[in-house]
Structure 1
């Protein structure tokens, strides 16, 4: 079904035949996923034995999990740092730099203020906040590549991952506010 050197326990990078790095060519990742998914999809094994069908289902699930983890930069960073022996410790390490927390509070207040407004003005304010947040997150995702792939500064990368998770939550809140404003 797959290369003999791959097992269900293979790491996601090996499974999808991509380098074990934070920087990824998403087009290559997508192509490898589609090719692999085509080989292991349970429908291709519908006439196989029950054991082979079950194995195909396990492989398809594993390939999907790998793809989901590697296609998103933040999920990829968490997974890669874990492989490298560095737990992001989201549940236990909530320490954040004071300037980051202040900036987050200001952004949240701006979101709340925009939601108080009405109509097109509120929508424009929320869209502007979202655009600013996206710019910042893209820059920090590029910084993650540098910290992990170039500098091997995994402790700083873990800190940045925690900050990005905070920002993803804020992004989701802004998206929800935009949905409400445009409904």
Structure 2
């Protein structure tokens, strides 16, 4: 059976037969995801041995995790860094650029002030634009640092990926605020 072809050791890019790079064709990624799911879905192995069923479940989980990681820019950046042996360790290493931290504090204050503004919908929409612009800028900077591929540039790429995490969190908080305003 095809179960022997399932390779749980393949990195996520290899799994989807994609180049190891930040910029990806997300439509191609989604297409490859669907193809892999068709081949590996555990329902296809209902009549197979217990071992083959277990492998199909593990492989499907691997496919799902890989897809979830690669489709999100920040998670993709973190994964790319991990392939180079660079771990962010966001739990213990919270050192950030002071300018970025100040900027983030200002944005948080602006989020807090949205409800009290005269036009909260416009205020949250403006913050979305700011956060998305910052996210795009960080992604572009990450690509430059990643492509340079020196130890110094990888340290910079890791710092940028941490900043991307913070901006993602701000975007999530803005989405929650927007939903709260809609209610």
TM-score under structure 2 normalisation? 0.91
Write the distance in 1 (CA, Å) between the matches of 2:86 and 2:18.
Answer: 21
1:126 alignment counterpart: 124
2:158 alignment counterpart: 158
Write the distance in 1 (CA, Å) between the matches of 2:46 and 2:122.
Answer: 51
Alignment of 1:94 onto 2:88: no
2:114 alignment counterpart: 114
Cα deviation for residue 116 of structure 1 reads: 2.0
User: Which secondary structure does the structure 1 equivalent of 2:90 belong to?
Assistant: coil
Write the distance in 1 (CA, Å) between the matches of 2:96 and 2:104.
Answer: 11
Write the distance in 1 (CA, Å) between the matches of 2:180 and 2:138.
Answer: 28
1:145 alignment counterpart: 143
Post-superposition Cα deviations, 1:13-51, rounded to whole Å, max 9, x if no partner, equal 111111111121112211111111110011111222222
Write the distance in 1 (CA, Å) between the matches of 2:104 and 2:49.
Answer: 55
Cα deviation for residue 3 of structure 1 reads: 7.9
Write the distance in 1 (CA, Å) between the matches of 2:100 and 2:55.
Answer: 46
Post-superposition Cα deviations, 1:82-134, rounded to whole Å, max 9, x if no partner, equal 1111111211221111111111111111111112236xx11110111111111
Write the distance in 1 (CA, Å) between the matches of 2:56 and 2:97.
Answer: 46
Gaps of 5+ in 2: none
Cα deviation for residue 158 of structure 1 reads: 0.3
Ranked by relative contact order (alpha carbons within 8 Å, sequence separation 6 or more), the top structure is 1
Superposition RMSD on alpha carbons, in Å? 1.6
Q: Which moved more, 1:62-71 or 1:6-15?
A: 6-15
* Native 8 Å contact 2:114 2:120 kept in 1: yes
Q: Stretches of 4+ moved more than 3 A in 1?
A: none
Gaps of 5+ in 1: none
In the TM superposition, 1:21-40 aligns within 5 A as: 21-40=21-40
1:135 alignment counterpart: 133
Change (3 A) 1:82 1:16: same
User: Which secondary structure does the structure 2 equivalent of 1:116 belong to?
Assistant: coil
Change (3 A) 1:3 1:45: closer
The alignment of Structure 1 onto Structure 2 pairs a total of residues equal to 179
